[in-house]
Chain A
Amino acid sequence: MSDMDMEDDGSGVVKKFMFLNRKAPHGTVYALEGLEVVLITAAFDQDVSLVFTDDGVYQLMKGIDTKGIEVKDFSKTYRALEGYDIEKLYVDRASMDARGLTEDDLIVDVTVMSDDEMKNLMAEQDVVISF
């Protein structure tokens, strides 16, 4: 990520960006390439929130092992987000429940939210990008 330092569009405007992660970490490239956008947005000093919903909750699951499918395991990146000042991580409770997951199954600290809370948070955003 060497190209992400010192990024600035010069306007000094800070907007609320929400990234909606809806897909499983593997099987498609959305989660991996989506993370790139998250990191660049943080490098522009924007107010970044990450939401994990639907199969997206699997992105944060402990014990991911990609050896068998011979693709890169990027789950460590979620633990490094704090270092990019990305600390607002939200997980949809219903999505977690439907998949038999609890907070203890996740590799990072998150705020678990109901549909209503999620709806309100989403309404506060300036930009919502969905992967």
Chain B
Amino acid sequence: MQFGILINEGPYNHQASDSAYLFARTAIEKGHQVPRIFFYHDGVNNSTRMAEPPQDDRNITQRWSKLAEEHGIDLVVCVAAALRRGIKDELLAPGFRISGLGQLVEMGIQYDRLVTFGD
């Protein structure tokens, strides 16, 4: 099955990013596909390579980059939500790209399921 994932909350502040990561990783392990993950609202803050969590904590952004590289996942950050929050191309971690909301709608149209992580 093809899963699209929508993440609506920022990292560390909220569990949504962690839950979405575990869901994506597990879905792939079970033989499903996660072609794209879309970041909206404060979820866009998952994409910045400027984040430096303490050494003994998980690095949520690096974790996304690694998962994307290993499984060819398209990590898309909403342009309007990103600009509003100061997220720009030059700040993006590997694997992320900025694009429009149409990419989210496409996931709903093309994939078997769209799963939202947020409040």
Contacts and interface: CB of A to CB of B under 8 A. Distances in A.
B110 interface: yes
A9 B106 contact: yes
A131 B118 CA distance: 8
Contacts of B8: 30, 131
A129 B101 contact: no
The CB with the most chain B CB atoms within 10 A, among A33, A41, A131, is that of A33
Interface residues on A, range: 20 to 34
Contacts of B118: 130
A33 B108 contact: no
Interface string B93-110: 000000011101110111
Interface residues of B, number: 19
A40 B105 contact: yes
Nearest to B102: A7
B99 to A, nearest CB: 11
B109 A44 contact: yes
Given A9-B110, A30-B119, 18 more contacts: A9-B102, A9-B106, A9-B109, A11-B110, A17-B105, A17-B108, A29-B41, A30-B8, A33-B40, A33-B80, A36-B80, A40-B101, A40-B104, A41-B105, A44-B105, A126-B108, A129-B6, A131-B8
28 contacts: A3-B100, A7-B102, A7-B105, A9-B106, A9-B109, A9-B110, A11-B109, A13-B110, A15-B108, A17-B108, A29-B41, A30-B41, A33-B80, A36-B101, A37-B40, A37-B104, A40-B100, A40-B104, A41-B105, A41-B108, A43-B102, A44-B102, A44-B109, A127-B114, A129-B114, A129-B116, A130-B116, A131-B8
